[in-house]
A and B are shown apart, each in its own frame.
Chain A
Amino acid sequence: MTPNDEPGAVVGDADLANAALRLDTRWTIRWIRRSAEVLAINRAALNTLDRDIGDGDHGENMDRGFQAILPKLEELTDETTPGAVLKLVATTLISTVGGAAGPLYGTAFLKAAGAVGAAQSLDAPALVALLTAARDGIVLRGKAMEGDKTMIDAWTPAVNAALAAQTAGSPVGAVLLAAADAAAQGAQATEPLVARKGRASYLGERAIGHRDPGSQSTSLLLRAAADLMSHH
């Protein structure tokens, strides 16, 4: 039942250090495919986390949403940009996931799509802009703050770590890895918290000791992206 999120598993040093590497449309599509795989594998584990402090369907809902994206990826044309892929993900998640996660992740991908615009590929600053816009979108929609025991507790550390890495001149692969590691730590750090948003907030102190399922799925999504740097 251990969620598949331990940091630093299979990352290739070559891509991490490659300053010229940019994330293109093909990479974006592979990230979403890999995310669908990872969410399918972690479906039961996410459900269990959600059953402890919510209504037990987060894995179910995320798996349904990402599976619904897969056939649509096949229909994309060669002119597709990373932004267009992210927008497709957004609209599909909004219409298939339901619960709170659908609008939250949908808004995240929609704002991320807006942030990268029509760019053909993403460098480190563009990646930081993407992550920041996604996080800001979730805050706008869900009105959660850091420490409320929500997915923001994974997103905000990820954004901060990505920005710090990019400011220090790291290439895009290393920025992504920093974000994924910070998200994993952020998800773990939700365990001792009392929830202030969502259904878990009705439990008061009974939520202590349980990891927030949304922070865990965020960690899985960013880990899926970082993992791709090893088999680029």
Chain B
Amino acid sequence: MKKLINDPKNVVNEAVAGFEVAHADIVRVSHDPVFIVRADAPLRGKVGIVSGGGSGHEPLHGGFVGFGMLDAAVPGPVFTSPTPDPILAATQAVDGGAGVLHIVKNYTGDVLNFETAADLAAADGIQVRAVIINDDVAVKDSLYTAGRRGVAGTVLVEKIAGAAAERGDDLDAVVAVAEKVNSRVRTMGVALTPCVVPHAGEPSFTLADDEIEIGIGIHGEPGRERIKLEPADAIVDRLLGPILDDLPFASGDEVLLLVNGMGGTPQIELYIVFRRAAEVLQERGITVSRSLVGNYTTSLEMAGASISVLKLDDELTALWDAPVQTSTLRWGR
């Protein structure tokens, strides 16, 4: 497997160092422990928002640090949760006295490390609340699993909760907005190829040339079912069906449609996916009033895509449209 890296051990540190230089207008970077923080943090009286998790999902989360979105991001090793120390340090760095929200994707390691950091921050007198993101409909949510995973819907939560914090909402209100977005967004993904974790050097699972995996997560873990490759439209229908049935979305709804690339699929294919998804939604009487297409929650070089649908209302639409200035999303400012 060819990768554009130096030593596998230095992948995260060197990437963060590059990010720091490239985006010095927006962020500052702490190297020990490693976290990325908004250049003007902490903001007195503003709720701080911290997210994080294993690396390998870029631009999640560092690419969303900046005005109107995250105050800090904590990248762990590739596909491994950061430990509580850097999460605590990031939490302290963004605490402006109004409390801190942790946005955590629902993986056991992430949840446990963020919880531990929140306990330590509380002992430090910082009020911390956590919202756990679990938008992946491919996993059955029951007593018999760790619950649904947090995937690309996380970006929408970060943007909208970030806007709520930026306009001055208090911690309870920001938490409520984040939970509202999480409760109204559903995602499902497909892999055409697996990905290779740098220090492992080999794929985490294998797919034959003519096979795809439906319902994958974002760590190269296997999905719901393995099928033969189909035309894009048929694959989109397979992903969108469970998404729309789950909430359920209904005729008359206004939605944000996110087509997210997993890292190794070109933009041209993502628009083919978007075209079909929008068509299906229109047939069902659902209006796509906001959209986002690109690589936002990736799984290293995995080829594939996920579709996320968020049911909007006036509040969520206004917060989505609110100004944002991060290295990845920038508008209105």
Interfacial residues, chain A to chain B (CB-CB below 8 A): 55-57, 61, 94-100, 102-104, 106-107, 141-142, 194, 196-199, 201-203, 206
Interfacial residues, chain B to chain A (CB-CB below 8 A): 76-77, 79-85, 107-109, 112-113, 115-116, 139, 143-146, 149, 200, 204, 217, 219, 221-222
Min distance, Cβ B52 to any Cβ of chain A, angstroms: 12
A201 touches B145 (CB 8 A): yes
Dominant secondary structure of chain A at its interface with chain B: helix
Given contacts A55-B204, A102-B84, A142-B112, 14 further A-B contacts (CB under 8 A): A94-B116, A95-B83, A98-B83, A99-B81, A100-B112, A102-B113, A103-B84, A103-B113, A141-B115, A141-B116, A142-B108, A194-B144, A199-B107, A203-B222
A199 touches B84 (CB 8 A): no
Min distance, Cβ A105 to any Cβ of chain B, angstroms: 11
Min distance, Cβ B280 to any Cβ of chain A, angstroms: 27
Q: How many angstroms from the CA of A100 to the CA of B139 in the assembled complex?
A: 19
Task: List A contacts of B116 (CB < 8 A).
Answer: 94, 103, 106-107, 141
B84 touches A55 (CB 8 A): no
User: Which A residue sits closest to B217, measured CB to CB?
Assistant: A202
Select one of A99, A102, A141, A202 contacting B145, CB under 8 A.
Answer: A202
Select one of A96, A99, A106, A107 contacting B109, CB under 8 A.
Answer: A99
Select one of B82, B85, B144, B204 contacting A201, CB under 8 A.
Answer: B144
- Contacts between the two chains (Cβ within 8 Å), count: 77
B80 touches A196 (CB 8 A): no
Select one of B113, B139, B219 contacting A55, CB under 8 A.
Answer: B219
Select one of A98, A141, A194 contacting B81, CB under 8 A.
Answer: A98
Task: List B contacts of A102 (CB < 8 A).
Answer: 83-84, 109, 112-113
B222 touches A94 (CB 8 A): no
Known A-B contacts A95-B84, A197-B146; the reply to A100 vs B221 at CB < 8 A is no
User: Which A residue sits closest to B142, measured CB to CB?
Assistant: A196
User: Which B residue sits closest to A104, measured CB to CB?
Assistant: B112
Task: List B contacts of A97 (CB < 8 A).
Answer: 83
B143 touches A196 (CB 8 A): yes
Q: How many angstroms from the CA of A97 to the CA of B76 in the assembled complex?
A: 11
Task: List B contacts of A100 (CB < 8 A).
Answer: 81, 108-109, 112
Q: How many angstroms from the CA of A194 to the CA of B144 in the assembled complex?
A: 9
B83 touches A199 (CB 8 A): no
A55 touches B83 (CB 8 A): no
Task: List A contacts of B139 (CB < 8 A).
Answer: 202
Task: List B contacts of A104 (CB < 8 A).
Answer: 112
10 A-B Cβ contacts within 8 A?
Answer: A55-B221, A56-B204, A94-B85, A94-B116, A99-B81, A103-B113, A142-B108, A197-B108, A199-B221, A202-B145
Which one of B83, B108, B217 has the greatest number of beta carbons of chain A within 10 Å? B108
Min distance, Cβ A2 to any Cβ of chain B, angstroms: 23
Task: List A contacts of B204 (CB < 8 A).
Answer: 55-56
A96 touches B146 (CB 8 A): no
User: Which A residue sits closest to B219, measured CB to CB?
Assistant: A55
Known A-B contacts A56-B204, A96-B83; the reply to A196 vs B145 at CB < 8 A is yes
Which one of A55, A57, A203 has the greatest number of beta carbons of chain B within 10 Å? A55
Min distance, Cβ A112 to any Cβ of chain B, angstroms: 16
Min distance, Cβ A175 to any Cβ of chain B, angstroms: 30
Known A-B contacts A99-B109, A196-B144, A202-B221; the reply to A57 vs B80 at CB < 8 A is yes
Known A-B contacts A199-B108, A201-B144, A202-B146; the reply to A98 vs B113 at CB < 8 A is yes
Which one of B76, B109, B200 has the greatest number of beta carbons of chain A within 10 Å? B109
User: Which A residue sits closest to B86, measured CB to CB?
Assistant: A95
B108 touches A56 (CB 8 A): no
Min distance, Cβ B311 to any Cβ of chain A, angstroms: 26
Q: How many angstroms from the CA of A199 to the CA of B145 in the assembled complex?
A: 9
Task: List B contacts of A141 (CB < 8 A).
Answer: 112, 115-116
